[in-house]
Amino acid sequence: MGLTDAARRLDSPFVDGQWFGILGYRSWSPSKDWVAGAAFDFRIHRQFSLEVDAMYRELNATWAAVELDGALNSVSPAPVVTFEFPVLAKYRFTGEKLRPFVEAGPAFRTTGNENFYPSHYGVAAGVGLETAWHGFRFAPVLRYTRWAKDRLPSNQAQSQPNQLELLLGISRASETGLSPLGRRVSFGVTAGWGLTPDVPSSAIQFRYYNAISPGSTDFVDYTEYVTGVLNPMVGPSLQMHLWRGLAFEAEALYKPLRTNVRVTQNDNGAVLNSGTYNAGSTWRFPVLAKYRFRTDGLRPFVEAGPSFRLATAGLSTYGINGGVGVEFRRGPFHIAPGVRYTHWSETEALGTHYARNEVVILTSVYFGGPARN
């Protein structure tokens, strides 16, 4: 259960006074939120493990108009459905019946029915206590998450970036080492960086009325220069080892879409605005067939398959991937750097043209699965 409000208390008055008897808007959280979902705990050592959670949470918020006498009008619920995915390194201290533990790592979330616009990433840390009873593990934990700033400003509601949750984990006790899902399944994390920008460079000219000089009929010409930024991506990945060097791989990768924007006045070159902006965020889901060639030491591989992503800002929702790389083993981990190309289907992106061809450099770190395949 969430111990903190999902939305911040905000009062947004109109700059110019009032509008038809309305002074502005107010938003707040009417209640605390419930959190529920599934957890996967992958033991790397008796005291150290990697935990991945998939939790459902509805961020409760309410929006209302504020009248001249302070009364609230048009009170409306404005919830946002989210799924949170913390990826946590967990360390258990020794103990006979009670085992204290600490955990920390990145957290990601998807959002739907966007009555407001919570950010998609943050960092989480927690402390808890684990005990076993009749073959089950019970682990109450107090977890703090710091979410990044909301993606878009809103005069209706904004999420609370500091979240404190009281959670109870219940799982079947198991000590299966590095293969919690069996010898044919391995789990890991994939991270990478784009080698091509998501938004091609462009220059758009526009004209504004010169409101600085009252009565003037002059117009001022501006140019907006947009330059794409090379963006990172990260997320969990799962491999199903089928036969010898052949495997099936699925990933869930989060990637922000950032651009550099600079606006200049044409007649004198003065820079009116300049900065890096988050044009949106995406979750993509590559589904790949992967073949490793059987050699000693480094094992080259090729991969190919479709890719899907959540509909965001008019982006296309499907494409096709192809990639190459090498895999090697260090201790219990399989490390696989590579390069991947993605071609996305055609899209009409609500005023923003996104690149359809994408090249990224990625590195995956896996544990579990067969010792040699």
Residue with more model confidence, 242 or 340 = 340
For residues 79 and 58, give the distance between their C-alpha atoms in angstroms, rounded to a whole number.
6
Position 218 confidence tier, pLDDT thresholds 50, 70, 90:
low
Q: Cα separations (Å) of 299 from 18, 77, 119, 292?
A: 68, 55, 38, 6
Eight-state DSSP code of residue 2: B
pLDDT score at 351: 47
pLDDT score at 143: 94
For residues 336 and 359, give the distance between their C-alpha atoms in angstroms, rounded to a whole number.
17
Q: Domains along the chain?
A: 10-172 (2.40.160), 185-199+230-368 (2.40.160.20)
Residue 343 phi, psi dihedral angles, 5° rounding: -115, 115
* Residue 144, Cβ density class (10 Å: 0-12 exposed, 13-18 middle, ≥19 buried): middle
Q: How many CA atoms lie within 13 A of 183 on its CB side?
A: 6
Average confidence score pLDDT of the chain: 80
CB atoms within 10 A of CB 46: 10
The SS3 of residue 68 is coil
CB 57 within 8 A of CB 33: yes
pLDDT score at 82: 84
Closest of 274, 225, 268, 80 to residue 159, by C-alpha = 80
- Percent of the chain at pLDDT > 70 equals 82
Judged against a pLDDT cut of 80, whether residue 60 lies above it is answered with: yes
pLDDT score at 191: 92
Structure-token pair, residue 225: 């220069």
Q: What is the pLDDT of residues 325-337, one digit of tens each?
A: 999 888 778 899 9
Q: Which of 92-101, 259-268, 283-292 has the lowest mean pLDDT?
A: 259-268
Judged against a pLDDT cut of 90, whether residue 103 lies above it is answered with: yes
Q: Cα separations (Å) of 244 from 187, 247, 288, 331, 371?
A: 18, 8, 16, 21, 11
Closest of 246, 299, 106, 298 to residue 189, by C-alpha = 106
Q: How far is CA 209 from the centre of its chain?
A: 40
60-69: average pLDDT: 78
* Residue 358, Cβ density class (10 Å: 0-12 exposed, 13-18 middle, ≥19 buried): buried
Cα 52-92-135 angle, rounded to 5 deg: 75
pLDDT score at 350: 45
